[in-house]
Amino acid sequence: MSNLYEGMFVLDNKVVRQGWRAAKAIVTGILAKHEANTITARRWDERRLAYSIKGRGRATYMICYFELAKDAGPALNRSLELNDAVLRYLITRVDAVPATEAELASREESDDFVVPAPPVEDSPTPVAAAEPEPEAESKPKLEEAEAEIAEEAAPAETLEPVAAAATPEPAVEAVATEEPKTEEGA
Amino acid sequence: MTPKTAMTPKTIEPNRRRESGIDYKDVDYLSRFIGPQGQILSRRRSGFTAQRQKDLKQAIKRARHLALMPFVG
């Protein structure tokens, strides 16, 4: 017994740049491995992601309708999660394939169809360029901190003898006043 | 005691003619029902029925999972 599913796959643009057919074959190959009957598979869109996934700002979406056995779901999920080309996926159960889907998929299969190459990745700030700036700033900060510690340590030494000289006197007095009481009690 | 006043829903022109379920791929439609910080609007604001609000919630969450819509902002 099998069910009809709709799968939306978010593919890495690095893989798509090497060829759409090859990228598509990755997903359809995984489906075939788990004995799924692929009805339609086509490129849905290439767009900017609402938030970055694995450092990618843009990705290509692929939509696929397929029939799969009920028991094969977890194994398929595991295969998709282990594949680096698939950034995200969503598999939902549907009642029927949309009417326009077959036409759109067949259009992609024709020789005239050309998949536009994904634009250059405009990822957020490069990590390598951001690192040197804190390093350059950190050295003077360390020197300043060491100098401050040295300044703080010097006056503390001068204060210690004064404090030590001031405190013993009252302590001796207190002991002197308490000692006779203890002797009287004993 | 303050008099009871009828609560008027602040609807955002929901397409009541849509008989089919809300599709998570229809991002332009879904984006009408999220606030400025990305939160799903309440039923009072959307004007949807309980069942349709559940469908809306499910569709927005699916769109967020696929990075079609933001979680915040």
| Host domain of residue A150 | 129-185
Burial environment of residue A71 by CB neighbours within 10 A (0 to 12, 13 to 18, 19 or more): exposed
Query: Do residues A163 and A155 make contact, with C-beta atoms less than 8 angstroms apart?
Result: no
| 8 Å CB contact of B67 and A44 | no
Q: Domain check: are A119 and A133 in the same one?
A: no
**B34 lies in some domain:** yes
Task: Please name which of B59, B28, B68, B69 lies closest in space to residue A60, comparing C-alpha atoms.
Answer: B68
Q: Is the pLDDT of residue A75 over 70?
A: yes
The Cα of A50 is separated from the nearest Cα of chain B by a number of Å equal to 5
Q: Looking at chain B, which residue has its C-alpha nearest residue A87?
A: B66
Nearest CA in chain A to B70: A50
Can you give the pLDDT at residue A40? Answer: 95
- How many structural domains comprise chain B? 1
Cross-chain Cβ contact A88/B67 below 8 Å: yes
pLDDT of residue A154: 57
Dihedral, CA of residue A146, residue A150, residue A152 and residue A154, to nearest 10: 180
**How many other CB atoms are found less than 10 A from the CB of residue A75?**
14
Are A152 and A108 members of one domain? Answer: no
What's the gap in Å between the CA of B45 and the closest CA on chain A? 24
B56 falls within a domain: yes
- Is residue A18 located within the same domain as residue A92? yes
Nearest to A88 among B25, B65, B69 (CB): B65
DSSP state of B71: S
- Whether residues A97 and A138 share a domain: the answer is no
Mutate to test the interface with B, among A51, A63, A77, A95 (most CBs of B within 10 A): A51
A141-156 burial, b at 16+ Cβ within 10 Å, e below that, comes to: eeeeeeeeeeeeeeee
Per-residue burial over A3-42, b = 16 or more CB atoms within 10 Å of its CB, e = otherwise: eebbbbbbbbbebbeeebeebbebbbebbeebebebbbbb
Lowest mean pLDDT segment, chosen from A127-136, B5-14, B27-36: A127-136
pLDDT score at A151: 67
At A143, is the pLDDT very low, low, confident or very high (cuts 50, 70, 90)? low
CA separation, residue A95 to residues A65, A161, B13, B61, B66 (Å): 11, 88, 28, 21, 21
Q: Identify the weakest region by mean pLDDT among A57-71, A75-89, A162-176.
A: A162-176
Check pLDDT > 90 for residue B10.
Answer: no
Q: Average pLDDT, whole number, for chain A?
A: 78
* Distance in angstroms (rounded) separating the CA atoms of residues A68 and A76: 9
Same domain membership, residue A109 and residue A150: no
Question: Model confidence at A15, in pLDDT bands (50, 70, 90)?
Answer: very high
B65 to A51: CB separation less than 8 angstroms, yes or no: no
Q: What is the mean pLDDT of residues B22-27?
A: 95
pLDDT band at B73; cut points 50, 70, 90? confident
- Separation of alpha carbons A74 and A56, rounded Å: 26
The Cα of A143 is separated from the nearest Cα of chain B by a number of Å equal to 41
What element of type H or E holds B10? none
Strand partners, B53: none
Residue environment code for B35-54, b if the CB has 16+ CB neighbours within 10 A, otherwise e: eeeeebbeeeebbbeeebbe
Does B2 reside within a domain? no
On whether both A111 and A137 belong to a single domain, the answer is no
**Chain B residues with CB-CB distance to A49 below 8 A:** 67
Range of the structural domain that residue B54 is part of: 27-65
Backbone angles phi, psi at A11, to 5 degrees: -100, 145
Within this chain, do residues A133 and A116 fall inside the same structural domain, yes or no?
no
Are B70 and A10 an interchain contact pair (Cβ–Cβ within 8 Å)? no
CB of A59 less than 8 A from some CB of B: yes
Structurally, how many domains does chain A consist of? 2
Q: What is the pTM of this model?
A: 0.69
A89-98, A101-110, A156-165: lowest mean pLDDT where? A156-165
Interface check A61 vs B, CB under 8 A? yes
